[in-house]
Structure 1
Amino acid sequence: MAVEEYDVFVIGTGSAGKKVADAAAEAGMRVAIADNREYGGTCANRGCDPKKVLVGVTQVLQHARNLEGKGIENPPKVNWKDLMAFKETFVDPVPFTTERALKKEGIKMYHQSPEFIDEETLSVEGKTVKAKKIVIATGHVPMELKISGREHVLTSDDFLELSELPESMIFIGAGYIGMEFAHIAARCGVKVTVIERSDKILNGFDAQLAEYLKEDSEKLGIKFIMNADVKSIEKLTKNFRVSTEQDEKEVEVKAELVFNTAGRIPATAALNLEKGNVAYEKGGITVNSFLQSTSNPKVYACGDVSASGTLPLTPFSGQEGRIVAKNILKGNHLELEIPPTPSVVFTQPQLATVGMNEKEAKEAGHDFNVKEENVPDWYNAKHINAPRYAFKTLVDKNTGQILGAHLLSPDAGETINLFVLAMVGKLDTGTLKGLPLTYPTWGGDMKAMI
């Protein structure tokens, strides 16, 4: 059997993998790319982009409800069928346009997940291929629940394909995905229960702001079962019964649909990494500062699947893809640097964070001030009758620079970007307070937060 040979073989067609393939093809290299799902990656097809379409409509709905009796009458209702059709206008073109662009660049495409045969050889679509460099950019997949009845659970992919909404849903896990979809569903009239094994939602975010968000979620009608381990899921006539253990007691809850939102893990199971001598760990492919495998120098990894220390966010996937491309083209010379990185939970209100929390700042030896307030009476919240607006900032006493910012507001996802700019640019609070920011805007409130 003939062996097909390439300069670069990329596994994964999301923002990281596509960036490497594009750059290598532009440089005149013989390039191939493979994916076992539709081309374009998670974010564009079944992640942040379609989710944000649903979030956008529910934000409008919430704003209207906040202003009912304040000038708004008969707040709108969501037509789920129309909303999903609108979502599809964003998603449907992605695979075709991605493949069209790759074909135009002369990149060979495969539609299967390859397996390593040895350090430089792969098996894909029944063919054997060799590559001087192999790039793994396969992203994340949902973590499997190791419980009885796990075959009954759905994932975020399934939520984004629902043709109609049920009367009730259960989300197992109160992380990003669980909280965002819980808010979407609850605002559309679904009875929602969230089961979380820890004592707080959204670990990794400021605990007080997360608790505020939990309170707001409960007012929305979301029920939380905290400190609960899911033990089994049973199919009933109409519903599913989820059995949990909470404080050594059995707690049961029923719903028409159950979603696994307990977390995501690196998508490496199908690659047969051991045969490729590719070391990996819990966070993904083990890489050095050049995003090169520590055990097989022919292999690079970028995006969510690399254990690079970055957050699994689309902006970093593209950045890591750029770094890998440059190191493949010109030899290892560009190292990964991790700047202050914002994270946002697109609930309503939104929860956003960048930089350190108090524990991290203390451990790093900083002498710092903390400013923490719940300010729904500030104008930007009050003029749209938003019931929640809170923040916490950490500022170094010696340099006046921001160490961390944590926001909970209808616009937190945008406002946090100003804090990122300030932190990356090393602007001190004196400089920031002197900026002529527009008023009244959410961004302008930044000066009152520091």
Structure 2
Amino acid sequence: MAIEEFDVFVIGSGTAGKSVAYDCVEAGMRVAIADNREFGGTCANRGCDPKKVLVGVTEAMQLSANLKGKGIVSTPEINWSDIQKFKSTFTDAVPAATERDLKEAGIKMYHQSPRFLDENTLSVEGKTVKTKKIVIATGQTAMQLKIPGREYLKISDDFLDLPELPESIVFVGAGYIGMEFAHIAARCGAKVTVVEFGSRPLAPFDKDVVSHLTEASEKLGINFIFNAEVTKVEQLQKNYRVVYNQNGTENSIKARMVFNTAGRVPSIADLDLDQGNVAFEKDGISVNEYLQSTSNPSVFACGDVSASGSLPLTPTSSQEARIVSENIRNKSMIEMNFPPVPSVVFTIPQMAAIGLTEEEAQKNGYEYVVEYKSVPKWFNSKRINEEVYAYKTIVDKETRLILGAHIISHQAGEMINLFVLAMCGKLKCEDLKAMIFAYPTWGNDIKGMV
């Protein structure tokens, strides 16, 4: 059987992989792309996009609840089946549309995860492929909990496709995914418990701002069990029993469904990286400043699977893909320099952050000024009767530049983007205060935060 040859072989058809493939084929290269799941990647098929559709419905419900008795007579009733049908209008067409576009661009497609045979050779769909450059953009997958009964645990993919919402749910892990899904499920009528190994949710975020979200979540009816290590899951007649150790004592809780939301890990298990001399670590493929493998110069990695030090987010995947495609197509390679990157947790209210936490600023030796306030009486929050609105900003004492911003509010995700502009543009606090924003908008509020 003839060996197929390519200039570039991309593994992964998500945001990062597609971008590199399109750039390289446009430059006249012979390009192939492979994926062992539906084409289009995590974000569009089973991640950010469908999740945000579900969140949107609960946002409407929460706003109505806030204004009940203030003009709104009754809160709407949620139909889970209808939500799923609406969500499907965003996701169902993605794989076929992605494949159509790749085919039209002249990119060869494979529907299997390739395995390395050597530094420039892959095995895929029973074929042997030689390629000059290989781009690994396989993203992340749910981290398996190595406990008895792990086969009973569902993952985020399952939650997004639930035909019916169970009456009770346990989420194991209080990170992004656990918190966002807990809020969706609780607002849609499920009894929700979150079991977390740490002492609070969302460990990377500022602890003071997170405390407001924890309190709001508890008021919503979410039950938290902190400092708890899940040791096993047992199947009962109708329910599942989640057994956990908390402070040396064994306890348990029952629910109709249990989800593993303990985190995600690089999706590299099926690649046989050792055969390709591709070094990897806990955070993914080991790369240099050019997003090139530290051990195999023919290999690049971008997106969530790359151990580049960036946050595993769709926007950073796009940036990394741009650098990789440039470095493959051009002789002079460019470095990946990450600007300040915002993070948003799409709970209700939203929580958003950029830059350093107060603890990080202290650890790094900055001389800084902190402003931390709870401001539910500010107009934008008060007009929608939202009880939770708080912020913390960390400002360099000498330069007056913003080191970090942390917000919990109805529109924290949009507000944090203005802090992105301020930090990337190296605007001083006085520069922000001198600007005139539209009023009354949430964006205008940031002038009062610095």
How far off is 1:250 after superposition?
1.1
The 2-side partners of 1:209 and 1:102 are apart by 43
The 1-side partners of 2:431 and 2:27 are apart by 43
How far off is 1:399 after superposition?
1.1
Give yes or no for the alignment of 1:298 onto 2:298. Answer: yes
Name the residue aligned to 2:265.
Answer: 265
Corresponding residue SS for 1:193: strand
> Runs (4+) of structure 1 moved beyond 4 Å?
none
The 2-side partners of 1:69 and 1:363 are apart by 48
Name the residue aligned to 1:16.
Answer: 16
Instruction: Give the letter aligned to residue 329 of structure 1.
Output: R
Render the CA deviation track for 1:204-248: whole Å, top value 9, x for unaligned.
101011111111101000001100000100000000000000011
How far off is 1:319 after superposition?
0.8
- Say if 2:206 and 2:358, in contact at 8 Å, map to a contact too: no
How far off is 1:441 after superposition?
1.0
How far off is 1:350 after superposition?
0.6
Instruction: Give the letter aligned to residue 200 of structure 1.
Output: R
Name the residue aligned to 1:337.
Answer: 337
Paired residues, number: 450
Corresponding residue SS for 2:373: strand
How far off is 1:364 after superposition?
2.6
- Say if 1:390 and 1:407, in contact at 8 Å, map to a contact too: yes
The 1-side partners of 2:310 and 2:395 are apart by 23
The 2-side partners of 1:176 and 1:279 are apart by 28
The 2-side partners of 1:13 and 1:217 are apart by 35
Instruction: Give the letter aligned to residue 391 of structure 1.
Output: Y
Instruction: Give the letter aligned to residue 408 of structure 2.
Output: L
Corresponding residue SS for 1:59: helix
Superposition RMSD on alpha carbons, in Å?
A: 0.7
The 2-side partners of 1:12 and 1:414 are apart by 30
Instruction: Give the letter aligned to residue 267 of structure 1.
Output: S
Unaligned runs of 5+ in 2: none
How far off is 1:332 after superposition?
4.5
Name the residue aligned to 2:377.
Answer: 377
How far off is 1:365 after superposition?
2.7
Name the residue aligned to 1:207.
Answer: 207
Name the residue aligned to 2:189.
Answer: 189
Corresponding residue SS for 1:271: coil
Q: TM-score, normalised by structure 2?
A: 0.99
Name the residue aligned to 2:50.
Answer: 50
Matches within 5 A, 1:315-394: 315-394=315-394
Render the CA deviation track for 1:389-418: whole Å, top value 9, x for unaligned.
000001111111111000000100110000
Name the residue aligned to 2:435.
Answer: 435
Name the residue aligned to 1:103.
Answer: 103
Render the CA deviation track for 1:296-335: whole Å, top value 9, x for unaligned.
0000000000000000000010111111001000035211
Instruction: Give the letter aligned to residue 47 of structure 1.
Output: G
Corresponding residue SS for 2:270: helix
How far off is 1:23 after superposition?
0.5
Unaligned runs of 5+ in 1: none
Name the residue aligned to 2:279.
Answer: 279
- Say if 1:114 and 1:123, in contact at 8 Å, map to a contact too: yes
Instruction: Give the letter aligned to residue 216 of structure 1.
Output: A
Q: TM-score, normalised by structure 1?
A: 0.99
Name the residue aligned to 1:154.
Answer: 154
The 1-side partners of 2:308 and 2:331 are apart by 19
How far off is 1:439 after superposition?
1.2
The 2-side partners of 1:313 and 1:79 are apart by 30
The 1-side partners of 2:35 and 2:144 are apart by 21
How far off is 1:25 after superposition?
0.5
- Say if 1:290 and 1:332, in contact at 8 Å, map to a contact too: no
Name the residue aligned to 1:426.
Answer: 426
Matches within 5 A, 1:399-410: 399-410=399-410
Instruction: Give the letter aligned to residue 58 of structure 1.
Output: T
Name the residue aligned to 1:176.
Answer: 176
The 2-side partners of 1:238 and 1:362 are apart by 50
